Amino acid sequence: MKIKVVPAILAALAAATVITWASRPDKALAVVSVSKDYLFEMLSILPPVLILCGLFDAWVSKRTVERLMGEASGIKGTCIAFVLGTVAMGPLYAAFPIGKSLLDKGASLYNVAVFLCVWAAIKIPMVLFEIKFLGTEFALLRLVLTVPAILIIAALLNTVRLNTSRIQ
C-alpha cells in the first residue's frame, strides 16, 4: 500500500505545481526553487549517514550494542544514548536510520527514544545558537525543561510498547 501512496502524492504535487504555474508562474518558480534547495540539503546528508549505518550494520556486533545500550545497560546505556544525541549535528531525519540500526542491534526502546529526542532537541551547537538569538534565560530554561520531558516521553513510549506485547 505504501508503494502506491507515495507516487499518488508525487502526482498530486506535480499537478498542483502545473496549476500554480498556469495562474502564478512566480509562485511556481518559488516552490521549485525552495524544494530544490531542500532536496540538495537532504541529498547531501542522507547518503553518508546511510553509508555509516551500513558500516555499523556490517561491523558492530549485536552483542556489543546489547551490552552498552540494551535492556540491562541501565543508566549507563541511557547516558550513552544521551551523549550520542547531543554530539550529533544533522537534522532529525538523519537520526532515524541510526536509531533503527541501534534498535535492530539490541539497544532498548527506551534508550533509542532518548537518543532520537535528544538528537532532535538538544544539540550543543543548536543550544549555543538559541542562546545567541533568544537569550540565555529563554534557552537555558527551555533546556532544563526539555531534559525531563524527553525522559518522560521515552518512558511513556517504553511502557506502551511493553503493554502491547503483553496483550498480544
Partner 1 sequence: MFTAVIWGVAGMGLVLSWTKNREKTRKALQFFQRAFLSLAPSIVAIIWTIGFILTFLPSEFVLGTIGRNAGIMGVVIAAVFGSIVLIPAFIAFPLAASFLRQGADVRGIAAFVTTLVMVGVLTAPLEVKFFGRRFTLLRNSFSFVLALAIAFVMGEVLR
**Where on the chain is the footprint of partner 1 (CB under 8 A)?**
2, 6-7, 9-10, 13, 16-17, 27, 30-35, 38-39, 42-55, 57-59, 89-93, 96-97, 99-100, 103, 113, 116-117, 120-121, 126, 129-130, 132-134, 137-138, 141-142, 145-146, 149, 152-153, 156-157, 160-161, 164
Q: Could you tell me the smallest distance in angstroms from the CB atom of residue 67 to partner 1? A: 21
Nearer to partner 1, 6 or 76 (CB): 6
Please identify, using beta-carbon distances, which residue of 44 and 75 lies nearer to partner 1. 44
- When the beta carbons of 68 and 113 are compared against partner 1, the nearer one is 113
8 A C-beta contact, residue 159 and residue 125: no
* Calpha distance 6→93 (Å, rounded): 18
At its nearest, how many Å lie between partner 1 and the CB of residue 83?
17
111/72 Cα distance (integer angstroms): 11
Report the nearest approach of partner 1 to the CB of residue 98 (Å): 9
Pick between residue 30 and residue 83 the one whose CB is nearest to partner 1: 30
